[in-house]
Structure 1
Amino acid sequence: MFHYLKYFLFHVIGLAAAAAMYLGSDWIIYGLIVIFGGYLLLDATLGDDITTPDFQHPGILTAQLWLALPLLSLIVFSFIWQVSPGDLFGLGEFLTGLTGYDVLAAKAEASWVSNTCAVIITGLMIGMVGTITAHELTHRTWDPISMFVGRWLLAFSFDVAFAVEHVYGHHRYVSTTKDPATAPRGRNVYYHVLASTITGNISALKLEAERLRRMGYSTLSVRNSVLRGYVMSAFIVALAFMAGGVEAMLLFIAAGLFGKALLEIVNYMEHYGMVRNPELPVQPRHSWNTNKRFSSWTMFNLTRHSHHHAHGEVPYQDLRPYPEAPTMINGYLATIVVALIPPLWHHLMTPKVLEWDEKYASDEEKVLAAEANRNSGIKGLMEHGQVTTQQA
């Protein structure tokens, strides 16, 4: 039973984020500190989870994923209510009468600090409740319900194109120069967020156009799932405007873009510096892995990324830990923090990348790695690239 319940931590965190919006003001600030700090602390203290339980009722685990759509809708509605003028649908008055806590007074005390924290929390939830769940669901291309839920979850971060590019592009080209999501050695995360977003959308449009042409349909068609995805996101933005006006709409856009940026930051740290002989199949060694217990439980085993890329069709509960795979700096949120500080990132990752070259790379990949090192602009990598060339 515990192995089923542990994945509901995800939903508890989402509900806590929504509750912070209604409690308002300082509670939003405290909520951000608790959620973010809790991840860092619990990943640091709870160690690794390398268990591989046998689940007899996988339908429960699928239902947990589907619940993300109403949960994220609740979180975003709570956010729009908090940052919009007035009392949307009279909800504040209702909650005050129900609980005795004056949520309208708390809302009136909102400051630019609490509103900024509200944007960050909502962006975190769009990234975690939305994108992480959608990542799992949109791999289930045989299941129309999962695809429907996953695409709408991605619409909150303006990234329904991910359902095409990730499954049919990224998984095919990962750790090669053809993959927008694989950051080459020396790239900083801020440039990667922009570059991967643009090239990823271009790739998704091309992949979808090719699919439609094979089927004999026009690219400019309602059958184009990428274009439909843009409309889905525009629909959510329009709802935010109708519910809370221009300011609420702009704040929601900021939260959605932050959620999208989180995806690209995660891509950055999952694949940074990896190289692969494109003639060889993807193997566990071509992704950075982590088995931090709290991240694993609250992110549907996204942490077991090495197995996921080796076998993308395997559902999250059946992913194996691969403790021998290349390992990230720490759990997901801690590694995100490090990635946001480029000098610290390169200081910590340069020895990891060089260890990968030595321990994991094939002979062909050692040649690719030496070239990547020379082109990286990172002193420690460039020096190693020169030495490798001289030895060759």
Structure 2
Amino acid sequence: MPAPFDRPASVAAFALFALLPGLLLAAACLFGGPWIWAALIWMGGASQIVDTVIARGFADPGRDEAPPGTDLLSVLLALLHFLLLLVGGLAALLQPELGMASRIALFLGLGLFFGQVSNSNAHELIHRGSRALFRLGAAVYVTLLFGHHSSAHRLVHHRHVATPLDPNSARLGESFWHFFPRAWAGSFRAGLAAERALSAARPDRPNPYLVWIGGGLACCTVVLLVLGPAGLGWYLGLCLYAQMQMMLADYVQHYGLERARRADGRYEPVGPRHSWDAPHFLSSLMMVNAPRHSDHHAHPGRAYPALRLERAGKPRPMLPWSLPVMAALAMWPRIWRRVMDRRVMRMRG
């Protein structure tokens, strides 16, 4: 019988580790106390320690077909997101008996879940062929006041990744704190321009930015009416924190990598050398294989259980630690550059 790391990950394994932090947070919202700290410790430290100690990945799958249960897990994760953000999480943060330390711990745990698990799952959904699944993923982004990502990611990032035309590809030497506002505003504008071009070609097609912006305003209005100004403040804080997590993922996964420009002015096709991968098994399961990023760019429609690392092929950029650990490191620019810049230069060379 093959060892666990010699086999591809099953949907059941993805379900266990992707749902676990959300269920811990649900218990934290309902019962408080030690559940809050258990959720934060798992999201903010324990899983990263496991990946650092056991720095291995599971085997690549042998086929492209999505196994049964793939889409069901994505739907369950989206529903859990809505419950934690719009129902349980905000209500728990407003409980008067909750101490300040517990309140901050719950806020951090929720923000990490929304930015890492919900984002990875919504990213998966907006690439699915089903219109219903796309809308579900877009709804997750709308509730995080990041709806434009549903347009900018597919229409701009995937087309122009690792070129100056992509706002979400971090430049060599650029700190995350410079990248974050530049990429946020740049992706909003670039996605809007791409959607306007599509609508101009099809006059009967409404611009989805009306939904991205209108849906976000509607979410803020509902939270304000139901939970008051304090609830709105916590909601905006959670959305900002989650958006930082999302942008950290983009920053880390493409930092410093460039596509060569050909003599005719066009850029070379996107390949494995234009995304940083992370093979670590636990974060890959928790984030529905988002760390296998280069294969996603090569096959955007490939479902998460079918993504590959293909380590036996040509050398490709590999992060030294798991994606969550590298995202935390990216918040310290000097340390980040010390770790990553020489690796970037080796990949360029």
The TM-score with structure 1 as length reference comes to 0.80
Bigger mean CA deviation after superposition, 130-139 or 195-204:
130-139
- Does residue 172 of structure 2 align to residue 185 of structure 1? yes
Summarize deviations over 1:145-170 as a string: whole Å, max 9, x none.
11111111111221111111111110
Map of 1:169 onto structure 2: 156
| Deviation >6 Å, runs of 4+ | none
Letter in 1 for 2:77: A
Summarize deviations over 1:224-262 as a string: whole Å, max 9, x none.
112211111222222322332110111111101111111
Give distance in 2, aligned partners of 1:11 and 1:27: 15
Summarize deviations over 1:87-146 as a string: whole Å, max 9, x none.
xxxxxxxxxxxxxxxxxxxx5432233222222222212223321111111112x31111
Match of 2:269 among 269, 277, 281: 281
Give distance in 1, aligned partners of 2:36 and 2:159: 41
Give distance in 2, aligned partners of 1:66 and 1:206: 30
Task: Report if aligned partners of 1:127, 1:157 keep a CA contact under 8 Å in 2.
Answer: no
Give distance in 2, aligned partners of 1:129 and 1:290: 16
Summarize deviations over 1:187-228 as a string: whole Å, max 9, x none.
11011111110000001110111010000248xxxx211221
Map of 1:295 onto structure 2: 283
Q: Pick 1 or 2: higher relative contact order, CA cutoff 8 A, min separation 6.
A: 2
Give distance in 2, aligned partners of 1:27 and 1:5: 24
Give distance in 2, aligned partners of 1:22 and 1:265: 30
Letter in 1 for 2:20: V
Larger Cα Rg: Structure 1 or Structure 2? 1
Task: Report if aligned partners of 2:117, 2:286 keep a CA contact under 8 Å in 1.
Answer: no
Structure 1 or 2: more helix by fraction: 1
Task: Report if aligned partners of 2:28, 2:39 keep a CA contact under 8 Å in 1.
Answer: yes
Unpaired stretches in structure 1, ≥5 consecutive residues: 85-106, 359-392
Letter in 1 for 2:32: G
Task: Report if aligned partners of 1:50, 1:320 keep a CA contact under 8 Å in 2.
Answer: no
Name the SS of the counterpart of 1:327 in structure 2. Answer: coil
Map of 2:215 onto structure 1: 232
- Does residue 251 of structure 2 align to residue 268 of structure 1? yes
Map of 2:334 onto structure 1: 343
Letter in 2 for 1:184: R
Match of 1:33 among 15, 35, 41: 41
Map of 1:68 onto structure 2: 77
Letter in 2 for 1:256: C
Give distance in 2, aligned partners of 1:181 and 1:58: 31
- Aligned pair in 2 of structure 1 residues 57, 312: CA closer, same or farther (>3 Å)? closer
Task: Report if aligned partners of 1:175, 1:286 keep a CA contact under 8 Å in 2.
Answer: yes
Name the SS of the counterpart of 1:165 in structure 2. Answer: helix
Summarize deviations over 1:56-83 as a string: whole Å, max 9, x none.
7634111111112210112121111112
Letter in 1 for 2:72: A
Task: Report if aligned partners of 1:123, 1:258 keep a CA contact under 8 Å in 2.
Answer: yes
Letter in 2 for 1:181: N
Map of 2:5 onto structure 1: none
Task: Report if aligned partners of 1:26, 1:114 keep a CA contact under 8 Å in 2.
Answer: no
Map of 1:388 onto structure 2: none
- Aligned pair in 2 of structure 1 residues 2, 168: CA closer, same or farther (>3 Å)? closer
> What is the deviation of 1:322?
2.8
Map of 1:99 onto structure 2: none
Give distance in 1, aligned partners of 2:90 and 2:217: 16
Letter in 2 for 1:61: T
The TM-score with structure 2 as length reference comes to 0.90
Map of 2:56 onto structure 1: 48
